Chains A and B, each alone.
Chain A
Amino acid sequence: MKAPGKLAALTLAALLAVTACGGGGDAAPAAQGPQPLRMSIWTSNEAHLKLFNEIAAEYRKSHPQVGEITFDPIPFENYTTTLTTQIAGGNAPDLAWILENSAPDFVGSGALVPLKSKVENAGELVPAATRLWERDGELYAYPFSTSPFGVFVNTDLVKAAGQKTPRELIKAGQWDWEHANEINKAVAAKGENGLTILNFDYKAWDNLATVWQGWGARAWSEDGGTCQFNAPEMVEAMTFMHKAVFTDKSMPGPGTAVDFFSGDTAMAVAQISRAAMLEDATFKWDLVPLPAGPKGEYAVIGQAGIGVLKKSPKAELATDFLAYFTNAANSAKLAAYFPPARGSLLTADTMAKTSPMLDGDQLQDVVIDGIEKGVVKPSHTGQAELAQTVRAALDPLWKPDADVKAVLDGVCAKIQPLLGG
């Protein structure tokens, strides 16, 4: 009987020891010598990483107290989940990219270090870009990428289907969803894929904002309190999409594997940073703004911020590096892939120097105009649970015989309690 008693005592002691440091998670004081820094990111693109490493190497030359700076790529699909699990496990990075859909959670929870006084010339940051990252007048993450969605076009496939290119339609003032749908229908009839919305895959529904915004629809009200999935604009937009998928077949249906970058798809709605993946493209491509919807022209932007985690024992060093990483000179370099939020950089001339992949029209129409008039993808406190609940409630829509209005009513019934009313 003694051994089990001792075992229990030992277990209890270990349990107390572990829990004592489990909840608080305050790390040990920093050791002496050069301090390494780690930044969680979701790109593993070689060109992106090369640029980050160059900036980091430059910084370390004048900052011997900083050791190796690691850019730690986490797969995009599970980015926020992996990041928060790292934080929960006491393995938080010093700096982290934050996706727009989790901005309210990160900014609202107080997990991030205030940055306003540290960022170089914060006054020139475009208000549309910083709004999501501010609370009570303080800036909690640097909006390093304000990336409008555009439509990448495989012009070879469009021409092979005997269609006018989107560029030609823009000149004729006819670049709208109806015309885009006709092109994609024709391409699909030839056995290739029409239009795909990157990362959507009939799950990540927030990417559909790139379509429904054209109808003036929204996921929820401005204040976040009321579901608007069953509003007439949304029903119309989703009816259009349902018809495109199941009647016109102009969008590849659920469970179909497509890869625009390998050349099997006519159009892809994606953020402009994807241009980097077209460097070795074997087909001719173009980048055009989103087609106009019934409510006219519009733009949707995705955002990413870089924050310094309060939990990091090297938060001060990390903040200093962040200020360097995002100063005007480095912002200009980063602008090659990540559209900047600095007003001084937002001109076609400046951007043309840093974005060799895109031409003047593409930069002006998609990037600069997009950032000016763009609406940010939907985000809300508790976004992960909302996203999952909407995903489950929206699934019945992706069947040929779906009743669009009924499904959207169902979405609102499910998420209204989560929206807080």
Chain B
Amino acid sequence: MTDLGDRVAERPATRHRHFWTIPRRDALVGYLLVSPQLVGSALFVLLPLGLVVYYSLQEWNVLAGTFEFVGGDNYAKLLADPNMGQVLTSTALFSVGLVVLNLALALALAILLDQRLRGTTLFRTLFFSPVLVSLVAWTIVWQFLLQQDGGVNGLLGVAGVDGPNWLRGETTALLSVVVVQVVKNVGLNMVLFLAALQGVPRQLYEAAQLDGAGAWTRFLRITVPLISPTILLTSIITVVGSLQVFAQIAVLTQGGPGMSTTVLVYYLYQQAFQFRHLGYGATLSVLLFLIVAALTLLQWRLRRKWVFHES
């Protein structure tokens, strides 16, 4: 903007007569067009973000109505919190499990549905439909299915397997939440992968086949590089999403058994809203924000090493 202004200023003849030069008018229109989005972002993203940092420096007792500046006390508490190790471990296990399972399954489904076979449209709809279902309704249904005497164990029983009490075992509870979330959202990544796969030119496969490349080599050398921008996109969305999973945990396990499913976002909900440590909850939000930002930045940086078509 300053550059434009300077360039206009170099032309003294038009300087006073026409303030609204074409570049200035274009700039104004541009700003007006982006302003709703800009105002929205400022109000609903930047402002809360700033407030969270501000609240993390306070001790806010909702019941007593006191609001005191405590400086770095909440950050010191974070470093000394005996639950943090368990919470971060659960968060990491949950995110890694979710991302790996979701991306692998989404890609596998997309490849299967990319074949020219009968009925693929039906299956596409089938796999995508959970994305459209209300999250809480979906989770409540799964809660019934995963009970000791629920549908999942009923099916296993038909096969002669005595299923575990899914939501009461530490490992099975975490696994259950991951699977419920993956089945819910895998359709979205699948559709993105499918679109990317359909953009891969068929001639490349034919040429490779003529050169004697097997199916696996074709997949690794042609498919993966050509859909790598989509892999990057889906992995960023899924990593960020995995760190924000809340409703499923609130409905299915409430963080238990023990603290096995108490991931960071659920722990921050407990601290802020259940235990009424709003200042400390805000501090945990800052931590969550930093983790998400760092992971996203890392993925963005690493893209140069493996994403095709990037400069």
Contact = CB atoms under 8 A, between A and B. Distances in A.
A24 B67 CA distance: 7
Q: Which of B61, B166, B257 has the most CB of A within 10 A?
A: B257
A202 B168 CA distance: 10
A384 interface: yes
Contact of B51 (A19, A385, A391, A398): A19
Interface stretch (A2-10, A158-166, A180-188, A349-357): A2-10
Nearest to A396: B258
B258 A395 contact: yes
B276 A384 contact: yes
A14 B43 contact: yes
B278 A88 contact: yes
B275 A382 contact: yes
B60 A23 contact: yes
B63 A109 contact: yes
Given A11-B50, A391-B256, A256 B63 contact: no
Nearest to A398: B168
Interface residues of A, number: 45
A265 to B, nearest CB: 14
Contacts, number: 110
B270 interface: yes
A392 B259 contact: yes
A104 B196 CA distance: 59
B47 interface: yes
A106 interface: yes
A23 B275 contact: no
A11 B42 contact: yes
Contact of B274 (A111, A384, A392, A396): A384
A48 to B, nearest CB: 26
B31 to A, nearest CB: 7
Interface in A369-412: 382, 384-385, 388, 391-393, 395-396, 398-399
B103 interface: no
A72 interface: no
Contacts of A202: 168
A253 interface: yes
A297 interface: no
Nearest to A399: B168
Interface stretch (A79-87, A129-137, A268-276): A79-87
B2 A257 contact: no
B258 A392 contact: yes
A255 interface: yes
A179 interface: no
A255 B165 contact: yes
A380 to B, nearest CB: 13
B131 interface: no
A257 B65 CA distance: 40
B167 A255 contact: yes
A110 B278 CA distance: 18
B43 A25 contact: no
A127 interface: no
B149 A256 contact: yes
B1 A3 contact: yes
Contacts of B46: 11
Given A384-B274, A388-B274, A311 B1 contact: no
Given A11-B46, A110-B64, A395 B274 contact: no
B50 A15 contact: yes
B123 interface: no
Nearest to A17: B47
A203 B254 contact: yes
B91 interface: no
Interface string A19-34: 1001111000000000
B65 A14 contact: no
A18 B51 contact: yes
A310 interface: yes
B79 interface: no
Interface string B39-80: 000110011001100100010111111010000000000000
Contacts of B278: 88
Contact of A10 (B42, B148, B255): B42
B144 interface: yes
B38 interface: yes
B148 A203 contact: no
Contacts of B62: 84, 87-88
A245 to B, nearest CB: 12
B257 A84 contact: no
B132 to A, nearest CB: 26
Nearest to B46: A11
Interface string A110-141: 11000000000000000000000000000000
Contact of B58 (A23, A24, A81, A105): A23
B273 interface: yes
Contacts of A84: 62-63, 273, 276
B125 to A, nearest CB: 32
A1 B144 CA distance: 56
Q: Which of A311, A388, A399 has the most CB of B within 10 A?
A: A388
A343 interface: no
Contact of A255 (B1, B31, B61, B148): B148
Contacts of A14: 42-43, 47
A23 B69 CA distance: 11
A231 to B, nearest CB: 23
B174 to A, nearest CB: 13
A254 interface: yes
Contact of A111 (B65, B149, B166): B65
Given A1-B2, A18-B51, A109-B61, A395 B256 contact: yes
Interface of A: 1-3, 7, 10-12, 14-15, 18-19, 22-25, 81, 84-85, 87-88, 105-106, 109-111, 202-203, 253-257, 310-311, 382, 384-385, 388, 391-393, 395-396, 398-399
Interface of B: 1-2, 31, 38, 42-43, 46-47, 50-51, 54, 58, 60-65, 67, 144, 146-150, 165-168, 254-259, 262, 270, 273-276, 278
9 contacts: A3-B31, A84-B62, A111-B63, A203-B254, A253-B165, A257-B149, A382-B275, A384-B274, A395-B257
Given A111-B63, A257-B149, 4 more contacts: A2-B1, A11-B46, A105-B276, A203-B256
Closest 4 CB pairs of A and B: A23-B67, A109-B63, A395-B257, A255-B148
